[in-house]
Structure 1
């Protein structure tokens, strides 16, 4: 009997290990077109997700449906508005409605992501190149729609934005059509950071309205700037946590974003130890700037990337981003597209406690080198 105890313990350990390694029984299958369609049909029925795997499925389906909604609205809606010669005022009403819808959806999926606590467990397997959708709703799945969610091949190629292609050879040469990801907690944090950032940027946008002559912006809802500041600030915090989570991983199995010791990563940008150090430094500096611990160089007569858009702060002072967002000007403040000056209340004296941020100088240096576009691609993928 005593000899059976170690065997029983081993069996129990194996059972626990299996539970940690595999998704729940009956979990959604995102590795095939049919599995993706079935999973999203289940999500569309509106049930409340009962576990983390179901929450992940709900986020994937709702986010990809949101992409379909936006693309359809942008393409078909633009054609309709041009054909019907809709007045600018009516167009702006429709634009605001669409942005508000996107913000609400991102907020809902962000809250689902925040509930997911996988720990060391691996969750669903994903094959994004097989998530075929009729994106624009015309009844057919064109090649660019078939591969809309496919991942670019891993490598150091530059960042570029191009029109969708309908050539199979293009996708064969530029995309990893066999990429598979097994979701872990760092992947959840990666997605959560992106949700914070995009929702925050759109909320920032909705704080303003266009002037009647479309020659400037009106600060219509100052409180939304405070909300945007919180969302984007949380995005930096989540991105930093995600970086630490990735570095701590010791497995190497169908990874999305991998650390320098993980070879089985399909992340489009290979990241070595120096990249992780740069990433950590960028998060640290952006967080300091965002919280007002460092200042943007924005003095009168200044040069560089900020010169055209910078507020003209007094000599020896810089722009305090946190003060600008958390103590915004009054509703109704107008910003012309030309010769805009932000209120000097957002300026702060440069001193030891509030030095200038190195971020603008780093960005300017990167823009002047061949590596500039590669750096932009790196920032895009690492959010």
Structure 2
């Protein structure tokens, strides 16, 4: 006798979110794509809570106990490894989700109330931590959490609802690759005893990081095309120029999508070593600090840097950093300089600089 299908999780209410995540916390194995979406949401929001709780309570505890630096670093490494493992689990769940043209769960992130820092109360900033900023062209800001209702009423779309589709899955999957890759990159290194440099402790992790981040660019490109191909207009997360019902914080017109496509193309080319970073002696601008890296007429090949790292135990001082000469490559027709640093400098020196940063953040 066939059992009835389980009811889809409800992420549009505080109670629905709590019930769905309680089921996930009990270890329920996702049996379909909707359940996988629910599992990813619950595990990712729980991971945010874990990180914030550790950063606040854990740091206070270590400071109170006057723990030595070595012991603190052990805890830091343990926390990073936990986050990497959890992101890997949810990344694999996301990769299994194949919605096709159908939609999945409805989400109202402003209603996902959670005791984020584990102190037993839900403050206003915790209540709205997952709320979406209002759609518009306001600049990118990094500010301390607010506990003023008027702030959230004026700056956030507290009624935003998203109906998950395949492009949303790809957006999240790309971000999982990027964040897991960056943390894997970080774990390739250890601090020196005097905390004045880095030791390349695990060169193999650089190769793993390169693959993760590179896959993120590929998935971001696929997601962009998936959004452009959509013809419906129903509670969209990222909307194409023909979709009006989008709650994506950054409005994207045809020019925005073209710029996004160009950014993904250029980042992929740089990451795979088809273009080079202008990090030559005597260089100026954003990469001036890297000026000693490569001789005149050559540029930094990022792929070589990651895929052919130096031996374990190589030390990089925070001053006068020098990377392996093999990471530099002659600039020629097959390996031109990347335009990305120049584009970033232009954005940073104009009034649109912070807006550009916000655009990059939301479009991953």
Question: Which TM-score tier does this pair reach, normalised by the shorter chain?
Answer: over 0.9
Q: Alignment partner for residue 233 of structure 1, among 211, 214, 217?
A: 214
User: After superposition, what is the alpha-carbon deviation per residue over 1:146-201, rounded to whole angstroms, capped at 9, x for unaligned?
Assistant: 00000000000000100000000000000000000000000000000000000000
- Are residue 78 (structure 1) and residue 59 (structure 2) matched? yes
Aligned twin of 1:60? 41
Higher deviation after alignment, 296-305 or 191-200:
296-305
Q: Alignment partner for residue 166 of structure 2, among 185, 189, 203?
A: 185
Cα distance in 2 for partners of 1:371, 1:293 equals 29
Cα distance in 2 for partners of 1:153, 1:316 equals 46
SS at match of 2:268: helix
Aligned twin of 2:266? 285
Report deviation, 1:82.
Answer: 1.2
What root-mean-square deviation, in Å, do the aligned CA atoms of Structure 1 and Structure 2 show?
Answer: 0.8
**TM-score normalized by structure 1?**
0.93
- In structure 2, stretches of 5+ residues that fail to align are none
Aligned twin of 2:23? 42
SS at match of 2:329: strand
Report deviation, 1:25.
Answer: 5.8
* 8 Å CA contact 1:367, 1:373 repeated in 2: yes
- Are residue 324 (structure 1) and residue 317 (structure 2) matched? no
* 8 Å CA contact 1:295, 1:319 repeated in 2: yes
Aligned twin of 1:171? 152
- In structure 1, stretches of 5+ residues that fail to align are 1-23
Cα distance in 2 for partners of 1:295, 1:29 equals 48
SS at match of 1:80: helix
- Are residue 334 (structure 1) and residue 315 (structure 2) matched? yes
- Are residue 353 (structure 1) and residue 334 (structure 2) matched? yes
* 8 Å CA contact 2:284, 2:291 repeated in 1: no
* 8 Å CA contact 2:282, 2:291 repeated in 1: no
Runs of 4+ in 1 over 3 A off after TM superposition: none
Q: Alignment partner for residue 297 of structure 1, among 278, 303, 315?
A: 278
Report deviation, 1:309.
Answer: 3.3
- Are residue 314 (structure 1) and residue 291 (structure 2) matched? no
SS at match of 1:307: helix
* 8 Å CA contact 1:310, 1:341 repeated in 2: no
Aligned twin of 2:195? 214
- Are residue 268 (structure 1) and residue 249 (structure 2) matched? yes
User: After superposition, what is the alpha-carbon deviation per residue over 1:284-318, rounded to whole angstroms, capped at 9, x for unaligned?
Assistant: 00000000000000111111101113552111100
Cα distance in 2 for partners of 1:39, 1:26 equals 10
Number of equivalenced pairs:
360
Cα distance in 2 for partners of 1:83, 1:168 equals 33
SS at match of 1:305: helix
Cα distance in 1 for partners of 2:58, 2:288 equals 36
